[in-house]
Amino acid sequence: PATIYRKDYTVPSYLVETVELGFDLDPDRTIVANRITMQHNPASPSRSIVLHGEELELVELRLNGRALAPTEYKIEGSVLTIPRAPAQVVLEIETLCTPVQNTSLSGLYVSNGSFYTQCEAEGFRRITYFPDRPDVMARYTVMLRADKARYPVLLSNGNLIESGELDDGRHYAKWEDPFKKPSYLFALVAARLVCQEEHYTLKSGREVLLQVWVEEGNLDKTDYAMQSLKNSIRWDEERFGLELDLDRFMIVAVGDFNMGAMENKGLNIFNTKFVLANPRVATDIDYAGIEAVVGHEYFHNWTGNRVTCRDWFQLSLKEGLTVFRDQEFSADMIGTDSGRAVTRIDQVRTLRQAQFPEDAGPMAHPVRPDSFVEINNFYTVTVYEKGAEVVRMYQTLLGRDGFRKGMDLYFARHDGQAVECDDFRAAMADANGRDLRQFERWYSQAGTPVVSARTRYDAVKRNFDIILSQRCPATAGQPDKLPFHIPVAVGLLDANGKDLPLLLEGGDHPKGATTVVLELTEQEQIFRFRNVDERPVPSILRDFSAPVVLEYDYTDDELLHLYRHDSDAVNRWEAGQRLAMERLLKLTAQVSAHGDAAALKLDSTFIEAQRALLVDEALDPAFRELALILPSETIIAEQMEVVDPQAIHTARQFMRRTIGAALKTELLAQYHANQTPGAYSPDALSAGKRALKNLCLSYLLVAPDAAQLQLAQQQFDHASNMTDRAAALVALIHSGSDAASYLDAFYQDFANEALVVDKWFAMQAAAPATNVAAVRKLMQHPAFTLKNPNRARSLIFNFTNGNPAQFHAADGSAYAFWAELVIELDAINPQVAARLARSMDRWRRYAPALQEKMKQALEQVAARSKLSNDVQEVVSKALA
Ligand code: HT7
Ligand code: ZN
């Protein structure tokens, strides 16, 4: 397959003004009539009309009223070219497609008997021929016709302008979108659905209609999505002065969906996972996910839809910015400093768990990639989460007000346009009179920068120097990197743990500031703090001010000091993670050397620090929970030169068991102190209490006695919400006791709730005792299917990514299983298969015996003759 390069961008040869689409919807044979008015783009030298189309049967093609003979156009692969076209063109195109056979869930497809679309990135070309690229923006009118009994609800973008009856039990609905948009934002739904709706008044006084559409039987699970939508609308008005521009905004939930949700103009289509919730079926994490994703898609209405991407290399322009906006929204919804810090810690965990490994692996790419084979492979944690970090750094450098000025200028300049990441950077720079040219390297250079810090204290001159240097590892095609512009937020703690007022030489921070942002732009720089009376403990990279790895030779005492006192909650948490990581790596090395955990020891200093934090009731329970979670097996693996997954698992379990035993009394006390009686509420404080309580339970159940087992059993039996019920079941499964009867009971209770059945598979997939044979057995369960992405992910991905000790079993049996599944899934849904293929990204970091088996599995997949571009790109990059 061909590689597409950013440098090869050319403007579209024709610009589209209007698109009129007519659909005669039939699962086996949908007829699409498409009338496009277009005109030659004066900026293009070409007079060829270029259209994209895939999996379509072309019935007729007319240009300015005349049917074209096959000799008058050319179809090569997925490109249809009409050469030597006139300046003004009306194209009429009739095509056929077969939605029921579309298992890729891209384009027009059928889910549970109804029609849905997914057009980003290149799905529109599976619906009709079109210049399917984001810089072609047009106004759409859509006529939907379908059987009324089977598809009573007919939706598309914008406003409903007409509807009525047709012959033979069919009906129609005509929709018009007043805004011009790229084809990837087109959507239709024809389904049997019900909705919760509400008239909502905007700050300006204008009234809008909000709807959340779901399948019958799920109406009792739409309140939180609706509330989140209203909160999102209000937040965007208040924080960014951005108003909903439509009279009607719809969310539709669908059970078969490749990603989380899609921001189609006025008609957001969501994975049910990010809409449906009530206390019985959804956990606190599910509720938080709904708020974030509803916000994310809503915020795209401005950052993505009103201002869109010139080409798909600019994807982070909309995704990085919109993730940043949803992160800020979620933080503001909690509204407390500690709640904000908790959300920030979660973001750092995601980066370390998924983005840092990606940036160090075979799929490493810049936030704005330079090339791709299959764009669907670039909806990555780098484009999304690292992209959000890049946006966050503007705010850190310019301040909230400066960032807002930059946003205002961005919309003033580019509303209605398709632009580049550079345009966003220019708006930030120009609105603030700042030179942000060097900042461009965050978009163009892949890899996670390493910032190395040294300090020196001069007691006579009362100077404290922080010497920062930076480097960035080589990545594919980028052996040498230039220095980044890195904001490094710093504070200094005195011996009592208090923040010192800072006086940075050459700094322009306010007097008495206790955190300052150092701007590291050179390879190495010295930053001098004056009037420092004692050698302080530096708190570096506060609030995780840049997506980097920080190296500093902290002593244990310094880390303990920060863990006890740092006013910056992120660095307080970080100190605990460093203390834990040091120990985990030592323990892992011991297990690797001796083969078992018999001689392992954990020092009392660490245990006492954990005890003090656990019982410190001045601290937010959610923060305490995060502080007590040990770094994950994946994050530990990233720190090792040669990864030994079983040793990591043994060492981490040893540490958990030891903490569980040593802190038994306090864990029990906190378990009881953090109950949340009364009606369930997903608010941050209650969720934090449940999180801490359930973390205590999980520690108590690492090596449980009868009373501890009973605690979990009782929680399972009497839980009034899914958070507590699922946590009890997971604790029981992980305790090594026989949890079969609880698993059965759980399944019986929720067999009709697809999202809960997903949880049931996921818990088992990630359980320490689940080997590949057990996964194969679970695949035989009547509820299992590879066709539904949520189900496939729940069992297969949670095994390959969430159960490293079993996935990397010494005999390589799970690698063979992985290869089988990638191949099988590829025939159904290439996007999902390619995601699974990524489970092997880090294969070169394992011991030679495992490496050899992983390589064989990769080669087995690569050798298949009928691979999708999606999978082929991933495996060939892994093997390169
Ligand atoms: N912008 C949306 C991306 C998306 C997507 C991409 C490829 C294939 C399927 C997809 N579904 C949704 C989601 C978002 O970032 O908001
Ligand atoms: Zn998005």
Positions in the chain whose pLDDT score sits under 70: none
Sheet holding 49-52, edge to edge: 49-52, 79-82, 74-76
Residue 749 tokens, joined? 């209770």
Q: DSSP for 781-835? A: STT--SSSHHHHIIIIIHHHTT-HHHHT-TT-HHHHHHHHHHHHHHHH-HHHHHH
Neighbouring residues of 480: CB distance < 8 A, sequence distance ≥ 6? 474
CATH number of 751-880: 1.25.50.10
Cα 391 to averaged position of ligand 1 atoms, centre (Å): 19
Confirm if 792 and 786 have CB atoms less than 8 A apart. yes
Cα 246 to averaged position of ligand 1 atoms, centre (Å): 21
DSSP conformation class of 591: H
Q: Are strands 159-165 and 107-111 parallel, antiparallel or unpaired?
A: unpaired
* Ligand 1 pocket mutation, candidates 118, 132, 259, 275, criterion most atoms within 8 A of CB: 259
Cα 26 to averaged position of ligand 2 atoms, centre (Å): 30
* Ligand 1 pocket mutation, candidates 102, 103, 116, 120, criterion most atoms within 8 A of CB: 120
Task: Return the residue whose CA atom lies nearest to atom 12 of ligand 1.
Answer: 262
- What number of other Cβ atoms are within 10 A of residue 59's Cβ? 12
| pLDDT for 598 | 85
299: amino acid identity, one letter: F
Q: Name all residues whose Cβ lies below 6 A of ligand 1.
A: 118, 120-121, 258-259, 261-263, 296-297, 300, 319, 376, 379, 831
Nearest ligand, CA of residue 121?
A: 1
Cα 296 to averaged position of ligand 2 atoms, centre (Å): 6
List, by residue number, the catalytic residues: 297
Q: Which CATH superfamily is domain 4-192 in?
A: tricorn interacting facor f3 domain (2.60.40.1730)
Confirm if 648 and 600 have CB atoms less than 8 A apart. no
Cα 295 to averaged position of ligand 2 atoms, centre (Å): 10
- Ligand 1: atom nearest CA of 375 is 7
CATH 2.60.40.1840 residue spans of the chain: 450-548
| pLDDT for 595 | 83
Q: DSSP for 433-483? A: T---SGGGHHHH--S--EEEEEEEEETTTTEEEEEEEEE---BTTB-S-PP
Nearest ligand, CA of residue 325?
A: 2
Nearest ligand, CA of residue 324?
A: 2
Sheet holding 107-111, edge to edge: 107-111, 114-118, 188-191, 153-156
663: amino acid identity, one letter: L
Phi, psi of 847 (to 5 degrees): -60, 150
Q: Which CATH architecture has domain 450-548?
A: Sandwich (2.60)
Cα 559 to averaged position of ligand 2 atoms, centre (Å): 37
- Ligand 1: atom nearest CA of 300 is 16
Q: Which residue in this structure is represented by tokens 């834990």?
A: 580
As for the ipTM of the complex, it is 0.98
CATH 2.60.40.1730 residue spans of the chain: 4-192
- Ligand 1: atom nearest CA of 257 is 11
> Per the confidence metrics, is the pTM higher than 0.80?
yes
Confirm if 186 and 124 have CB atoms less than 8 A apart. yes
- Ligand 1: atom nearest CA of 831 is 8
- Ligand 1: atom nearest CA of 296 is 16
| Burial zone of 672 (CB within 10 Å; 0-12 exposed, 13-18 middle, 19+ buried) | exposed
* Ligand 1 pocket mutation, candidates 181, 327, 378, 379, criterion most atoms within 8 A of CB: 379
pLDDT digits (tens, 9 = 90+) for 465-482: 999 999 999 999 999 999
Q: Are strands 137-147 and 14-24 parallel, antiparallel or unpaired?
A: parallel
- Ligand 1: atom nearest CA of 258 is 9
Task: Return the residue whose CA atom lies nearest to atom 5 of ligand 1.
Answer: 120
Q: DSSP for 733-745? A: HHTTS--HHHHHH
Q: Give the number of residues written for the chain.
A: 880
Q: How many degrees, rounded to 5, is the angle at CA 555 between CA 550 and CA 561?
A: 95
* CA dist., res. 92 & res. 67, Å (int): 9
Task: Return the residue whose CA atom lies nearest to atom 1 of ligand 1.
Answer: 262
- Ligand 1: atom nearest CA of 376 is 7
Cα 151 to averaged position of ligand 1 atoms, centre (Å): 25
Q: Which residues surround ligand 2, an ion (CB under 5 A)?
A: 319, 322
Cα 322 to averaged position of ligand 2 atoms, centre (Å): 6
| pLDDT for 100 | 98
- Ligand 1: atom nearest CA of 323 is 15
Q: Are strands 207-214 and 248-254 parallel, antiparallel or unpaired?
A: parallel
Task: Return the residue whose CA atom lies nearest to atom 10 of ligand 1.
Answer: 259
Cα 384 to averaged position of ligand 2 atoms, centre (Å): 8
Nearest ligand, CA of residue 303?
A: 2
Cα 271 to averaged position of ligand 2 atoms, centre (Å): 13
Cα 355 to averaged position of ligand 1 atoms, centre (Å): 18
pLDDT digits (tens, 9 = 90+) for 775-820: 999 999 999 999 999 999 999 999 999 999 999 999 999 999 999 9
Nearest ligand, CA of residue 378?
A: 1
